Amino acid sequence: MISKYEEKIEYEKFISSLNIVPNHNYIEVSKGSNPAIFTYANGSAVYEFFISKQYLLIFTHSEIILKKYGVDIPKRISHKDIYEFQARELPLTSFHCISFKAFNRKYYFYIDADDVFSLGESSYSSFNYYFLREKKFFGLLDM
């Protein structure tokens, strides 16, 4: 198992390999089902093993890049193909949900943005999440 620092370095190397400057424009998230199911089932072994998948989300001024853990080729979605983009805190949890539609499909990603489950270690993803919120996810929150 690698440390959060080593993970961050690996992610930044990957982002640089895409000719993108890593500058608080990426977050590690869990891709899952809709928020109602997530709120009820998160943490269960069945949910974590069969439904939840780890992703790296990279935000630019023109696209979102979705890199699934263990898969080399990322998926790129242009801003013009994204609609109903939201970033919100889920009630009754410490998690925030990033959701959007693209190509007639709904995407849900979750982040412990307040580091409640980080065992006292502040994460780069939480910092980057709030940075991206401040930047309106490079215009996606305005759509």
User: Is a pLDDT exceeding 80 seen at residue 131?
Assistant: yes
> Amino acid identity of 36?
A
The whole-model pTM stands at: 0.88
| Residue 36 or residue 60, greater confidence | 60
Which alpha helices (DSSP H) does 51-135 contain, by range? Answer: 124-134
Q: Which of helix, strand or coil describes residue 76?
A: strand
Residue 56, phi then psi, degrees to nearest 5: -110, 125
| Residue 39 or residue 70, greater confidence | 70
Question: pLDDT > 70: what percent of the chain?
Answer: 81
CA distances 127 to 2, 22, 106, Å, are 20, 13, 25
| Number of CB atoms found within 10 A of residue 28's CB | 22
18-59 pLDDT, tens digit per residue, is: 999 999 999 999 888 776 666 666 655 555 555 668 899 999
Token digits of residue 46: 């069945």
Strand order across the 75-78 sheet = 75-78, 63-68, 53-59, 26-31, 105-111, 96-102, 82-89
User: Is a pLDDT exceeding 60 seen at residue 124?
Assistant: yes
Taking residues 77-100, report their average pLDDT: 93
Domains of the chain (ranges; CATH) run 4-142 (2.30.29.30)
> Amino acid identity of 39?
T
Answer whether 7's CB lies under 8 Å from 22's CB.
Answer: no
Taking residues 106-127, report their average pLDDT: 77
